[in-house]
Amino acid sequence: MDHSIKLSHTSALILQTISHGYSYGFDIMDVTGLPSGTVYPALRRLERGRLIQSTWENAALAQERPPRKHYRVTRAGNQALLSAVKRYPLLERLRPEAKPKGR
Amino acid sequence: MTGRFDTLEQCRMILRVASWIVPRWTRAEWLREWEAELVSACQVSSQSHGNRLRRRCYGAFIDAAWYRCNREDLRHTSQRWSQTPAFLLLALVTALLMFALASGELLRMRSILLRPPYPDPQRITTVSRTGVISSSEWVIPYSWVKVWRKHEGSQVSVAAYSWKPLASLISVDGHRVRAASVKVEGSLFRVFGLNPILGRIDQPGEVSGLANCLVLSYESWRRDFSSDPGILQKKATIDGQEARIIGVLPERFWFPSNEVAVWRLADESSFSGENVGVIARLGPRVSERWAELLLQRDVENSVGESPWDAALQVWPVQDRIRQPLIFYALALCVALLLMIPVICSGRLNLRPQSAEIARICRWWSFFGTKSFLLLSILLAVVIELTPEPYVFPAGKTTFVVESASLWAFSIGCVFLLWWSLADQQSRCRVCLRKLALPARIGRSGCLFLGWFGVELACPEGHGLLHITETDVCWLDPAQWTPLDESWESLFSERSEMEAFK
């Protein structure tokens, strides 16, 4: 994916949220306040653009619940995010707190 | 606990319904992801979050719909669909239908192909001079018409008209209408054997009293005068001259073309000195050749014209209207003959890959249907947009030389058939899809070391087509290379997506 890709503000916000460790769909909704009808299609688009990559959680780690799908930002995604932050300076202010490890 | 269980079940139900929208190939994974998030959310949230969870689950419908109508997939699907043979045929049919609607349901074409709207059409003929060079000389001096009328008997009755329609301004009770009009003798409608649906046009002995009377077409009466039954009593003017409307003709009648909405009746004095078009009704058992001799003899005896100058042609109107179709058919035959050597030479390599009869039939029937639709559109366009009147003011020779529509049709035929062949060449020999992914092969100027050409691939992976760009006779013609199963993986991702959608 070309790193000069232009992301929408919403996509950039979601990408930034994932880069801060909020890797599950519902967690991204909680942090950004965006509805599921916005977050999930954006995740699909980002994944198709290879800016994020999804993997299934290890079943052994998921106790008493089905394994969840989590997303992580790829190298191309990081580059796209850097360009997006330059493009949307306010995105820096909206930066969510990094997710505490182990949550 | 029960409330939370209810919420979970309700949300699961919503997700299951939404999952029906998701394509089958990814439905299970999609549902698994959403259910895992749901269960996880239920474990950590309290009962008060039930509504919030349900709202989130309703958002699953939007997520599911994304799989069906996201921009990339739609573009990809439409791109792939546009490569199919069905798309081309549908596009051509749509173009034909759109043109038919825009042109008033092919009014001119129907007028030419359908039976003329007057009785005994085979007995209604045009009379024109032969041996003339240009179309302006085909018309008849009005003095001849007067001679024929003097000798008019049961064998031939004639009527004159000024064949060139005029754009006129008609005003009735302050209501103004622009319409094409043509000057005719009052006896014209008797020659045609027509009875008006409103009013009366021509009674024997009344012809001279019909000067400046107007007869309306049924379509104009309905469209411009709202089918007013009292129109006959109203005062009218045409191009500033006082006139009176004396009749409305039956539906679908036209002469000499469909554009004419008003026939302006004129007496002998207004035609004197003019060259006119002539319509004749042949009596029973009077052949066209016999009528020609009769009329010619009258002119020679009464006016003193030489037999050469008085040479006449009597030609049924119906044949005259349809005569261009014969020339169009001839032009089409010439175009087809020009294409035969191209097809037979094998340079375009127009052969389906399989020798199965069904495949060969599909391949050539697609070519036939496509060419037929293209030529139908061309014919419809040429006939509907032709500036010439239907009753073409010329003999057969002058039509061929002067008719712009015939030349346009001939050139159009060659061009469209060539395009149809070129389109067929650039289609897959198996699935008939348009070949894509063009790749230039070789270097220009290196014809002896390598071929300079373009290679096209079937989007389904059935084969490759190599087309030489430099058309040199000693090079091989276009080559089709079938691809075996080992190439499948290259095309499988797209095919799989397509199959599941």
A66 with B32: Cβ contact below 8 A? yes
d(CA B470, CA B451) in angstroms, rounded, equals: 9
- Mean pLDDT of all residues in B319-332: 85
Q: Quote ipTM for the complex.
A: 0.90
Distance CA(B212)–CA(B228), nearest Å, equals 21
Between chains, do B59 and A69 touch, taking CB under 8 Å as contact? no
Report domain extents, chain B. 2-69, 121-317, 436-500
Q: Which residue of A has its CA nearest to B59?
A: A37
pTM above 0.80, yes or no: no
A62/chain B closest Cα distance in angstroms: 10
Q: Do B56 and A66 touch (CB under 8 A)?
A: no
- The verdict on a CB contact (< 8 Å) between A36 and B56 is yes
Domains of chain A, CATH where assigned: 9-93 (1.10.10.10)
Strand positions, DSSP E, B253-345: 260-266, 275-282, 312-316
Residue A26 has its nearest CB partner, among B40, B55, B61, at: B40
pLDDT digits (tens, 9 = 90+) for B224-270: 888 888 888 788 888 888 888 888 988 888 888 778 889 988 888 88
Element (H, E) at A38: helix A36-48
B60: chain A residues, CB-CB within 8 Å: 36, 40
What's the token pair of residue B156? 């031939």
Q: For residues B83 and B433, is the Cβ–Cβ distance under 8 A?
A: yes
Whole-number mean pLDDT of chain B? 81
Find, in chain A, the residue whose alpha carbon is nearest to that of B35. A66
DSSP string, B142-167: HHHHHHHHHT--SSEEEEEE--S-EE
CB pairs under 8 A between A and B: 61
Q: Does B35 touch chain A (CB under 8 A)?
A: yes
> Residue B269: which of B371, B386, B146, B113 has the closest Cα?
B146
Convert the pLDDT of each residue in B2-29 to its tens digit: 555 688 889 999 999 999 999 888 899 9
CB B363: neighbour CB atoms within 10 A? 21
Beta carbons of A36 and B35 less than 8 Å apart: no
> Smallest Cβ distance to B63: which of A36, A62, A67?
A36
The more confident residue out of B490 and A10 is A10
User: What is the token pair recorded at B379?
Assistant: 């014919």
